[in-house]
Each structure stands twice: as C-alpha cells, then as structure tokens.
Amino acid sequence: MIQDSFLKSFRETKSPFITNPYRFAGAAAVGGWVELGRTTLGSAGDNITVSSLPDKRYYMVLAHTLASTSSQSQVQMGNTTIDTGSNYSGRWSNSGGADGTQVSQSDISISDTNSTTAFEMGYISNLSGKEKLGQFWNILQNTAGSSTSPSRTESVGKWANTSNPLDIVNWFNRNANSYNTNSELVVLGWDPADTHTTNFWEELASVDLSGGAADTLDSGTFSAKKYLWVQTYIKAVSGTVEPDSQFNSDTGSNYADRYNINGGSDGTGTSLTTGVRGSGVPYSAFFNDFIINNASNEKLVIRHVIYPPASGAASAPSRRETVGKWANTSSQITSIQWKENSGGAGQFDTGSIIKVFGSD
C-alpha cells in the first residue's frame, strides 16, 4: 500500500531530502545536515558570499534577502575564487509563466526583480569530476500585507566546472541597488560518510494523529526558530479533505498565497482566514515546507505537495507548488495547525503526521 510504504520511508529513510528525525535531530544522531558557513550583511551590499566550504557531496542553501529598492538574486559558485566567467546555464519560471533559459552566463538566475523581502532555498550537487547542478525555489513577499499575494520562481542551473569541487557560494544582486543590512546566506552540507552530531535541523515537534479521525492536526507549541522545515503527511478518512495550515492559531484574514497544480497557470488567494492553502486530498498527501520565521518580517513559506488520488500504480499522483505568507511582523511561529476546510464530511485519518524541525 502507498500509505504503508510512504510512512516507512518518512520515518526511516537515510536520504538527505526526506528527514528521519533519528538521523537529523537530537544529541544521539549522527550525520545529517551541518552548517558549513553563514554570512549576514552588516551593511548594504550586492554580494552575500560564503567561502572556505569543506567538500561535501550535497549542499542545502537558505537565503533571506531584504531590499527596499530593485534587486534580483543570482547564484555564483567557485573554487578558491568566485567564478564570474561565462560558465553557467539555467532554466527558470516566474509565477507559473513559460520557461526562460540562459546559456554561457556569468551566474544562475533564481528570482524575478523585486523590491521587498525574499526567501530562497535550494540544493546543489557537488562532485568534483561533474558539472555542479542546482535546484532553487524563491518566494517574493511583494507589497506587505495579506491583500497582496506573493510571487515565486522555480529554477535549475549548472556550473560547468568538472575539475574541482566548489568551496564558494555567492548570492549576487544583478541590479544596481543593494541587499539591505541583515540579508543572510546559510550553507549546509551533507555527506553519507558524515558522523558529526552538530546537526543544523533540530526536531521541535512530532505529532502522530491518534484516537480517531479529526478536523485538526496540531503541532503543539514549539521553540521559536529563525528557519523552519515542516513535513506533514495527511491521510483522508473518506471523501476529499482540504488541509490548510495556520500559524499560532491565527484565524484572522492574515494569509496570502500563490499555487500551481500540475504545471498549469498559477492561482492566488489574498486576505485568507484559512491559512496557507494545501490541496484537495482524496486519499493522502505529503507536504514539504520551508519557512523563514523572523519576528519582524512577514513569514514566507515555500511548499511542495504530492497527493495521489488512490492507492496503486494505476493512478498518477498530482503535484502542487505553493508559496504563502503570514502577514505577522511582531512574533515568530511557535505552533502550526492543519485544518480541514473542505466543508464536507471528510476528516484527517489516524496516522496523519506533522514533524517540525528548526534552527537559528
């Protein structure tokens, strides 16, 4: 059954991309994502550079960029020095639009032009004898407040270097204006041979729904952290359920989002009371969220969802890419509530799971 095999992989996998709490969090764990470097701008600038990186098989990058005037984020890499030659190529889509491509460029484009806060995350594969391949996702806050939906970019790119591992990652603002003070880039590393216990991602909450079907899956209160990684498995009892996520039990019209289903045109929602919306789930769904969680900034969410319509290989799953924001600028997220909002008789089934990881 899909449910049984997924739950087993969710709890036990050793992949760096789907977390096992026993591998990635807690003092007894070994391996996992470790922080390799971080740069936080002390004054405005066009480059946020993390250098002297140890050679790891995979990198995860987290970037929080602040801008009051026009900025556009690009990625550069290097060994010893930043490579600014025509050694990059990429492909991207802005807010569900047609793909754009670039070849023989001096960087990889990962965001549209914006003049507000942005949150970006991505993965880079780093093998010295192969081109370095990256996947990146971006959310732009746009005008502050829940009456404006965010924008998004999804992109892939490569650095065509096949002779060295990378040891520099640079977030570069292509436009004439600068990133503001406190813009930040964090680079994490993972390697199958790692045995450290200094994992970046700490498990903050883990809840398995038990005691019967319910309309709410609640993480409970957890420690406030700057970066959150949330993984949620929802199983429907019967009929289609609509799981939407709220923060700190806020039921006001303080949410906005943008979403894309199976490569179609983007849809948007503003002044939402239900939270950052999920998907119509007829059987089960897996949600993978990254959140920037600064108290003084709107909380920005990058979400990926898979939801199969039924068990078995005869039905193709659907996918959904969502970005959302919680227009709260006074407190951090310390709890997450998944609510069933279809208005029908559907409920979350026993065995639905939420796991929250975080780090400052």
Give residue 1's pLDDT.
41
Percent of the chain clearing pLDDT 70 (strictly above):
92
Is the pLDDT at 70 greater than 80, yes or no? no
Please give the full DSSP string across 11-76, using - where no structure is assigned: HH---SSS--HHHHSSTT--SS-EEEEEEE-SS-BSEEEE-S----SEEEEEEEE--SS-B-EEEE
Report pLDDT for 132: 97
pLDDT at 39 over 70: yes
Whether pLDDT at 26 is above 60: no
Taking only the tens place, the pLDDT of each residue in 328-352 is 999 999 999 999 988 777 889 999 9
Residue 24's pLDDT is 39
Percentage of residues in the chain having pLDDT higher than 90 = 75
pLDDT of residue 276: 97
Query: Quick one: pLDDT at residue 10?
Result: 47
Residue 281 has pLDDT above 80, yes or no: yes
* CB hemisphere CA count around 37 (13 angstroms): 15
Answer for the pair 73, 63: CB distance below 8 angstroms, yes or no.
Answer: yes
The confidence band for 14, taking pLDDT boundaries of 50, 70 and 90, is very low
pLDDT of residue 9: 47
- Asked if pLDDT for residue 28 goes beyond 60, the answer is no
Average pLDDT on 189-205 reads: 92
Does residue 6 register a pLDDT over 80?
A: no
Q: What whole-number distance in Å separates Cα of residue 25 and Cα of residue 200?
A: 8
Confidence category of residue 72, pLDDT binned at 50, 70, 90: confident
pLDDT band at 311 (very low <50, low <70, confident <90, very high): confident
- What values do phi and psi take at 320, rounded to 5? -145, 130
Q: What structural domains does the chain harbor? A: 2-28+201-359 (2.60.120), 34-190 (2.60.120)
> No. of H helices and E strands in the chain?
2, 24
Average pLDDT, the chain: 90
> In whole angstroms, what is the distance from residue 97 CA to residue 264 CA?
9
Asked if pLDDT for residue 4 goes beyond 60, the answer is no
| Contact between 192 and 58 (Cβ < 8 Å) | no
Q: What was the pLDDT predicted at 324? A: 97
More confident residue, 276 or 2: 276
243 φ/ψ angles, rounded to the nearest 5 degrees? -85, 120
Q: What pLDDT sits at residue 150?
A: 96
Instruction: Please tell me the predicted confidence (pLDDT) of residue 328.
Output: 97
Beta bridge partners, 157, equal 90, 134
pTM value is: 0.91
Q: How confident is the model at residue 310 (pLDDT cuts 50, 70, 90)?
A: confident
The DSSP bridge partners found for residue 267 are 259
Sign of CA dihedral 260, 332, 354, 281: negative
Q: Residue 353 pLDDT more than 80?
A: yes
Q: pLDDT tens-digit profile of 101-140?
A: 999 999 999 988 888 899 999 999 999 999 999 999 999 9
- Pick from 150, 204, 142: nearest CA to 321: 150
pLDDT of 343 reads 77
15 CB-contact burial (10 Å; exposed 0-12 / middle 13-18 / buried 19+) = exposed
Quick one: which of 141, 121, 136, 177 has its CA closest to 297?
141
| Cα–Cα separations (whole angstroms), residue 58 to 47, 55, 104, 123, 160 | 22, 9, 24, 7, 16
pLDDT (average), residues 197-212: 93
> What per-residue confidence (pLDDT) applies to 29?
53
